[in-house]
Amino acid sequence: MKHAAILMSAQISISRWIKQPSSSSSPRLMQNKKTVHQEMKTQQFLCINSQSISAIALTMSLLLHSLSLASGTSALHPIILIPGAGGNQLEARLTTKYRSTNPICELTALTKRGNWFRLWFDPSVLLAPFTRCFAERMELTYLPTIDDFRNAPGVETRIPLFGSTQSLLYLDPHLKHFTEYMGPLVSALESAGYVDGRNLFGAPYDFRYGLAPSGHPSMVGDQYLRDLGELIESSVAANDGRSVILVAHSLGGLFALHLLDRSPLSWRRQFIKHLVTLSTPWAGTVQEMLTFASGYTLGVPLVDPLIVRGEQRSAESNLWLLPARRVFDEMPLVFANNRSYSAKEMEEFLKDIGFEKGVYPYETRIRPMVDRAVEIEGVPVTCIVGSGVDTPEKLFYGSKGFDKQPEVMFGDGDGTVNMESLLALEKDWSEAGRKNLKVVKLQGITHTSILRTRVAVNKIVEEVGLINSMDFSSQLGS
């Protein structure tokens, strides 16, 4: 009873804090470059004003953990973390079928052939001679004869440590400071009582691949959904039947949504407690059009974007992340060659940038998935998104064409995903009359800092605590 009283007190405190109006100003569109100083001030302001809420949330999670220990069982719902594109390690092995026209790539292959090595993330990608080797080994090929994507000839890949969070913490364990990904979030969840391999799991995947609509094969993507489904079921079985909380970042949110959409309602109700998405691009991003047109290096100065452009174009998942017409409609997004391109003219855009072979898989495999709104019954969803960060909204190409980086006009979003896309699920579901969706906006939080900034991580833990507390409230009241 003592534990119960403390727990209920914490829940009441949180409810009072949540009802307080937000003091953050509405985001505004800006055409100039980011002002780092202003963003830092915004984050500092948020940290100060959210400390009390976060402290209560963390305390509640710890109280939940204490209560579970007192009862002799783990009372927390298990969590499965699903990373975004590039958010987990990827290993490769070269076979005798591997060939390269680049002498350096052929030479390095001699030491790698037959042995597994880390393909992503490998710091050698930052060195120009090895960037090309990385790009050709990462490249996918669409094969019309089988209507599916495959690795480059002679390249085998695998995902290490499926089921564990270990491959999500850092992209390279030897460069933890520079390649940290979900490390801070996992640490915060562990402080709240979660244990890797017991009630906390990771579901890494080959993020180059995507999914396909009904009637089209997707060997890698479909296998991942099967593996994820089995991980969910085994996690529930290992935690006395408590259903799973899925926490998915970016592209991982799309995989999670489609898994639920393709599963029976009875399965969802039995195995899924809640879906929490972080920075998920429900309708693609304008940034992806820049990637296809000119290549994108995430701001790394030593890498030539044209070297990695071909590999980026080949990724099935990147086609999935192009702006969807159901949200961006006829809004002009790219200006080049005395014309403009909207989301409704994506096929023409792909042709004009010199990637005509991407048109057919885009039309047949991608559009049937992104042109419709995906609705799922039986699973509540919480979307946590960043806002108020300069995000590419329109791209302007000059006389030198798509081989040069464009001038960029910025709008609102999280620095990578446009606000229209971040809120697309809310728009889709509100029009359909769905009410089991909650949206949380974090001013000044970027696409990746949502996983490591204290105010964002604490907010995620707070939401997890609230989801867990729902069961405890009913138990205490009975």
Residues labelled as active-site residues = 250, 414, 447
Is 327 within 8 Å of 361 (Cβ atoms)? no
Is 402 within 8 Å of 294 (Cβ atoms)? yes
Task: Take residue 193 and report the two structure tokens written for it.
Answer: 């009582």
Q: Report the distance separating Cα 347 and Cα 16, nearest Å.
A: 50
- Helices 128-138, 305-314: crossing angle, 10 deg rounding: 10
Phi, psi for 468 (deg, rounded to 5): -65, -35
Please calculate the CA angle 385-381-324 and round it to the nearest 5 degrees.
60
- Provide the terminal-to-terminal Cα distance of the chain, rounded to the nearest Å: 12
Please calculate the CA angle 134-139-140 and round it to the nearest 5 degrees.
160
Task: Take residue 59 and report the two structure tokens written for it.
Answer: 């305390």
Task: Please name every residue paired with 141 in a beta bridge, in sequence order, or none if there are none.
Answer: 150
Which residues have a Cβ under 8 Å from the Cβ of 64 and sit 6 or more positions away? 7, 75, 76, 192, 193, 465, 468, 469, 472
Task: Take residue 106 and report the two structure tokens written for it.
Answer: 């052929």
